[in-house]
Chains A and B, each alone.
Chain A
Amino acid sequence: MAVPQKPVEGQLLEGGVPAGRAAPAVIAPGHTFESVTDKISGIVLTKRTPIGWFIGFAVAFAFLMLLNLTIGHLLMTGIGIWGNNVPVGWAFDIINFVWWIGIGHAGTLISAILLLFRQQWRTSINRFAEAMTLFAVACAAMFPLLHTGRPWLAAYWLLPYPNTMGLWPQFRSPLIWDVFAVTTYFTVSLLFWFTGLVPDLATLRDRAQSRAAKVIFGVLSLGWRGSARHWQNYEVAYLLLAGISTPLVLSVHSVVSFDFAVSVLPGWHATIFPPYFVAGAIYSGFAMVMTLAVPLRKFYGLEDFITMRHIHNMTKVMLVTGMIVAYGYGQEAFFAWYSANPYEGYMMLNRMTGPYAPLYWSLIAINAGMIQLFWFRRVRDNVVLLFILSLFVNVGMWLERFIIIVTSLHRDFLPSSWDIYQPTRWDFAMFTGTIGLFLSLFFLFIRFLPAIAIFEMRTIVPEAKLQPEQRG
Chain B
Amino acid sequence: MADMPTPYAPPAEIEGPRSRALLVGLVGLAACVAGFIVDRDHFFRSWLVAYLLFLGIALGSMGLLMIQHLSGGAWGVFRRVFEASSRTLPLMALLFLPVVLGMGTLYPWTHPDQVAQDEVLRHRAIYLNTGFFLARAFVYFAGWILIAWTLTRWSRRQDAGDMRVNLPIQYLAGGGLVFYTFAATFAAVDWIMSINPHWYSTLFGFIFVGGHGISALSFTIVVSTLLARWAPMDTVLKPSHFHDLGKLSLAFVMLWAYFNFSQYMLVYAANLVEEIPYFIARTSGGWQYLALFLVVFQFAVPFLLLLSRDLKRMPLRLVWVSAALLLVRDIDLFMLVAPEFDAASGANLHVLTGEHASHVFVHWLDLAAPLAIGGLWVWMFFTQLAQRPLLAFADPYLRNALESPGGH
Contacts and interface: CB of A to CB of B under 8 A. Distances in A.
Given A10-B163, A10-B166, A338-B124, A273 B266 contact: yes
B202 interface: yes
B262 A117 contact: no
Interface string A265-290: 00001111111000000000000000
Given A269-B270, A271-B267, A331 B202 contact: yes
Interface string A118-136: 1110000000000000000
A327 B182 contact: yes
Interface stretch (B146-154, B216-224, B227-235, B395-403): B395-403
A275 B258 contact: yes
B262 A275 contact: yes
Nearest to A117: B408
Nearest to B396: A16
Contact of B174 (A17, A264, A338, A375): A375
A341 B200 CA distance: 11
B202 A21 contact: no
Contacts of A10: 163-164, 166-167
B408 to A, nearest CB: 7
Given A18-B163, A338-B127, A338-B189, A323 B205 contact: no
A17 B397 contact: yes
Contacts of B164: 10
B130 to A, nearest CB: 18
B203 A272 contact: yes
B36 interface: no
Interface string A321-343: 00100011011100100111100
A118 B163 contact: no
Contacts, number: 94
Contact of A120 (B258, B259, B262, B407): B407
A271 B203 contact: yes
Nearest to B181: A327
A53 to B, nearest CB: 36
B15 interface: no
Contact of A335 (B163, B200, B407): B200
Nearest to B121: A340
Contacts of B383: none
B272 interface: yes
A261 B275 CA distance: 14
Contact of A271 (B178, B181, B263): B263
Given A269-B270, A375-B174, A335 B202 contact: yes
Contact of A16 (B269, B272, B399): B399
A118 B397 CA distance: 18
Nearest to A270: B202
Contacts of A341: 274
B190 to A, nearest CB: 11
A359 interface: no
B8 interface: no
A261 B259 contact: no
A177 B269 CA distance: 14
B243 to A, nearest CB: 12
Contact of A118 (B262, B269, B408): B408
Contact of A269 (B174, B258, B266, B408): B266
B167 A9 contact: yes
Given A271-B201, A275-B203, A264 B270 contact: yes
A18 B167 contact: yes
A332 to B, nearest CB: 6
Contacts of B120: 340
Contacts of B269: 262
Nearest to B126: A337
Contact of B202 (A17, A120, A272): A272
A258 B203 CA distance: 14
Contacts of B185: 327, 331
A63 B200 CA distance: 46
Interface string B383-408: 00000000000001101100000111
B400 A17 contact: yes
Interface residues of A, number: 39
Contacts of B163: 10-12, 18
B96 interface: no
A15 to B, nearest CB: 6
Interface string B167-205: 100010010001001100100010000000000111111
Interface string A237-277: 00000000000001000100010011110000111111100
A48 B245 CA distance: 52
Contacts of A323: 178
A409 B207 CA distance: 29
Given A9-B167, A16-B396, A335-B202, A264 B272 contact: yes
A403 B205 CA distance: 24
Nearest to A275: B206
Nearest to A263: B270
A245 B332 CA distance: 30
Contacts of B201: 271-272, 335
A75 B106 CA distance: 62
B396 A17 contact: yes
A330 B400 CA distance: 39
A261 B203 CA distance: 12
Given A16-B400, A261-B266, A272-B203, A118 B407 contact: yes
A172 to B, nearest CB: 8
A270 B267 CA distance: 9
Nearest to A327: B181
B180 to A, nearest CB: 12
Contacts of B181: 327
A271 B399 CA distance: 42
Contacts of A9: 167
B119 interface: yes
A406 B269 CA distance: 22
B206 A272 contact: yes
Given A274-B262, A331-B205, A375-B174, A339 B200 contact: yes
Q: Could you say which of B200, B205, B267, B407 has the most chain A C-beta atoms within 10 Å of its C-beta?
A: B200
Contact of A250 (B123, B174, B258, B406): B258
Contacts of A274: 203, 258, 262
A262 B407 contact: no
Given A118-B406, A327-B182, A262 B266 contact: yes
A254 B396 contact: no
A118 B404 CA distance: 13
Contacts of A328: 202
A19 B290 CA distance: 54
A274 B265 CA distance: 11
A16 B404 CA distance: 13
B258 A271 contact: no
A271 B266 contact: yes
A9 B167 CA distance: 9
A16 B203 CA distance: 42
24 contacts: A10-B163, A10-B164, A10-B167, A12-B163, A15-B396, A15-B400, A18-B163, A18-B167, A120-B407, A250-B258, A263-B270, A269-B270, A269-B272, A271-B262, A271-B263, A271-B266, A272-B201, A272-B202, A272-B206, A273-B262, A275-B203, A275-B206, A275-B258, A340-B124
Interface of A: 9-12, 15-18, 21, 117-120, 250, 254, 258, 261-264, 269-275, 323, 327-328, 330-332, 335, 338-341, 375
Per CB-CB distance, the 10 closest pairs between chain A and chain B, nearest first, are A16-B396, A272-B202, A271-B203, A340-B123, A274-B262, A340-B120, A271-B263, A272-B203, A118-B407, A331-B202
Interface of B: 119-120, 123-124, 127, 163-164, 166-167, 171, 174, 178, 181-182, 185, 189, 200-206, 258-259, 262-263, 265-267, 269-270, 272, 274, 396-397, 399-400, 406-408
Given A118-B407, A254-B262, 15 more contacts: A11-B163, A16-B396, A250-B258, A270-B266, A271-B202, A271-B203, A271-B263, A271-B267, A272-B203, A275-B203, A275-B206, A327-B185, A331-B202, A339-B274, A340-B124
